[in-house]
Structure 1
C-alpha cells in the first residue's frame, strides 16, 4: 500500500512540475487534489458518488474503500475546523492519522521547526534533538525545549515522558527502526520534507507548510507564507522563462567536500537535490546532472566526482553549498568560513583556467539559508548572481528580512554577512 501511494504522489509531482502555480495538498478530504480543502471538494466527492467524477487518492477520508456521506461529513469538519482527526500523506508516502488540535510536539527537523515558528506554534514544541540548543538566534524559543538527544541513538523513554501528540522527523532520520517501531502506537510520526528535494521539488515545502497549517489550526499564517513564496518564485520563473537555452549559465554545484581527497575529487550535487532544484529554478544549467550516483535510498543525485571532470566542463559559474564544520549562519559572526571555502575552490590545481574563476564567479551559499522554507529568497540571490542585469531591481536581502519577520525572529539577522558570499547589491 505504501509503495502504491508513494508512486501516486511522485507521479502527481512529475505531472505538475515545480511551478508555483500548482501543488497538491496531501490531506484526505482534498477530493479534487488541489491546494486547499473547501466546498469544491464536497461537490467533487458528490460527483464521485453519482459517477460524474473520477475517484481520486484523497477522496476516501475514512479509508473504507468508497466515497459516501460519511466522507463528506468528515471533509466538512476539516473545512469548518471541528475535525478531531486529520489524515495526511507524508513525504515518505505514508498515510498518517493525527489527532487534532496538536498541542505537544517533539521535533528532529530543523527546516520544519522554521515552519512552526512561521505558524506561531513554537510554544507547542516540548522536545527537540540535541542540535537545537546551539541555535539560539535561529530558534530563540524552541532551543530552550527539553533536549531528547540525537537521532542516531534515540531516547524513547525521554520522548514518551513528554506525552507528544506528534513527532516531526526527517524522511530518513531517525530511522523507522530506531523511532517509529519502538514508540507506542498512539504517537504518530510525521516524516515530511521541508527542504525542497525530490521530483516534487519546491512543492514539497508548500505542501508541508499547508499540512502543518491544518494540523496546528494556523491556516491563515500558512497562507501568508504561500503568498510570500509565490510572489518571489513567480517573479523568477517569469523572467528566466525568457532566457534562451543557449544563453543560460552553465553551473557546477558542489557541497562542502566530504571525501578525504578534496583536491582530486569533490562532492557534487545534481538532479532532484534541493540545491540542484534551486539552480534549475534560477535559470542555471547544472553540468553535473546525470553524472552522479543517487544518495542513499532517495532519487537525489549527490556524490563524489573527479576534479579533472569539472575542469573539462569549464563551468561559467561555480556554486558551493556550505554546511557542517561550524557553518551556522544564524549564529556565526563573520563570513570567514564562506570566504575560506571560495578561496579553496579558487586554489584547486588547474582552476585558474576555469571561466568561473577567471571571471570571479564563485558563489557560496549556506545550507541553512537555501535548503529551507526560506529558499525563495535564496532563489532570488542565485538568479541575481546568474543574471545580474535581468534581476537588477530585485532585493534578495529584503526577501530574507521578510522571511525572518514571518518566523518571529530579528530581521536584522539578514544584515549579517554569514548567509552567503559574496554580498550582492
Structure 2
C-alpha cells in the first residue's frame, strides 16, 4: 500500500513538472506559431524589447532570457546602465548583431538552445531572404515577430500581448495595456472635445547629429512619431509628403513649409556616432548639455531661417520612444507643447514616474526632453 501511494505521488509530481502542451499564437506578421508557453529560454532579436519585458516581469525580467541583440548597449546605454545596476548578470549575457545587416550568428544562437527568437517586423525581409526562419526552426527555435516601430499605433498592444504570452505574464499585460490606453486618452479625449482646435505645423527631424554623412532632413511619415504628433494635437508636415514610416524632406521643402514647431529626436549615441553633435536626451541626461546640443543643431542649414527657431519653439525628445510602447509619455509632452492652454494641468514626467513605480524594476530618472526658449537659438 505504501509503495502504491508513493508511485501515485511520484506520478502526480511528474504531471505537475511536465511541460505545458504546445499552444499557438499569432504574431504581428500574421504567422501562426506553435510552441510551449510560457517559453523557457528566450533570445531577444532586439535588446530594446527589454523595456516591455521589464514592465511585464519586474524582478524576474532576465530569468528566461538567454541572449539578446547588442542594440540596448550601443544605442541606449543610459537605460542599459540602469538595468546593469539592478541585474549585474546582464553583463555576461551573450550578445548578437542585427539580422538585416548580416551580423546575427545563428550557430552561436543555436548553442544557447533557445525555444524562441523574438524579431522586430522590419527584419522580416532579411529573414526571408536568408532563410533564417527555416534554419532556426530546424534547430528547434521558433521565430515570433513583434512591432513597436513600423506602425506602433496599430501593433503595440498586440505586441505587448505576444510578449506577455511568451513570458507568462498575461495579467501584467492587461495592466500595462490599460495604463497605456488611459494615459493616451488623457490627451485624445480632451482634444476630441476641444472647439476650434488649431493644430500647429510640426517638423520632426530624425536622429540629427549621429552621423556626419547625414544632413537635414530625415523625418517621419504618418506612422510612429508622425502619428504621435497628430494624436497630440499637432500637424505632422512629414505626412504631407511621405506615405512611409520614415523618409527625407529636402531643405527647400522645410523652408517652404516654415513649421510652427521644430523637434528633433536624440539619445546617447556616443558609441555609435562619428560626430557627437546629437542631443543626448534620455534617462538621467544632463539638461545643460541637451540644451547646448539642441542649440548647435539649429545653427545648420536651413534652420536658422525658420520662424520656429527664431521664436524658440524648438524641442528634443528621446529617440527610443519610437520603438517601445511608452509613447503615452511623448504624446502627453507634445500636447503641452502644441496646445499649452488646453493641457496646463498635464504632467507627463509624473506619468512616466508613476509608470516606473507601478511596472519597472529600475528607478525613474528625468532627462527625456529638452527645449529652447526664445533667443536661445540665435
Q: Which TM class, normalised by the smaller chain length? A: 0.7 to 0.9
CA distance in 2, matches of 1:337, 1:241: 37
Q: Determine which structure has the larger helix proportion and give its number.
A: 2
CA distance in 2, matches of 1:241, 1:222: 27
- Alignment partner of 2:249 out of 296, 302, 305: 305
- Alignment partner of 1:392 out of 344, 359, 363: 344
1:379 to 2:328 alignment: no
- Alignment partner of 2:111 out of 147, 161, 165: 161
C-alpha contact 1:259 1:304 (8 A) present in aligned 2: no
Task: For residue 406 of structure 1, report the CA deviation from its aligned partner.
Answer: 4.1
- Tell me what 1:181 maps to: 134
SS of equivalent to 2:264: strand
CA distance in 2, matches of 1:383, 1:423: 17
Give per-residue Cα distances to partners, 1:343-368, cap 9 Å, x unaligned: 24432345444231122111110112
- Which 5+ residue runs of structure 1 have no aligned equivalent? 1-81, 295-299
Alignment coverage as a number of residue pairs: 328
1:421 to 2:361 alignment: no
1:346 to 2:298 alignment: yes
| Larger RCO: 1 or 2 (CA < 8 Å, sep 6+) | 2
SS of equivalent to 1:411: coil
C-alpha contact 1:111 1:373 (8 A) present in aligned 2: no
- Tell me what 1:218 maps to: 169
CA distance in 2, matches of 1:125, 1:247: 47
Distance 1:244 1:358, change over 3 A: farther
- Tell me what 1:316 maps to: 260
TM-score of the two chains, using structure 1 as the length reference: 0.70
CA distance in 2, matches of 1:95, 1:150: 26
SS of equivalent to 2:309: helix
Distance 1:128 1:350, change over 3 A: closer
Task: For residue 384 of structure 1, report the CA deviation from its aligned partner.
Answer: 0.9
C-alpha contact 2:27 2:162 (8 A) present in aligned 1: no
Distance 1:386 1:408, change over 3 A: same
Task: For residue 145 of structure 1, report the CA deviation from its aligned partner.
Answer: 4.8
Task: For residue 133 of structure 1, report the CA deviation from its aligned partner.
Answer: 4.4
C-alpha contact 1:125 1:145 (8 A) present in aligned 2: no
- Tell me what 1:150 maps to: 97
CA distance in 2, matches of 1:330, 1:423: 17
- Tell me what 1:256 maps to: 207
- Tell me what 2:274 maps to: none
- Tell me what 2:144 maps to: 190
- Which 5+ residue runs of structure 2 have no aligned equivalent? 1-18, 271-278, 374-378
SS of equivalent to 1:92: coil
Task: For residue 188 of structure 1, report the CA deviation from its aligned partner.
Answer: 0.6
Distance 1:180 1:423, change over 3 A: farther
Give per-residue Cα distances to partners, 1:78-105, cap 9 Å, x unaligned: xxxx962232222223222222121111
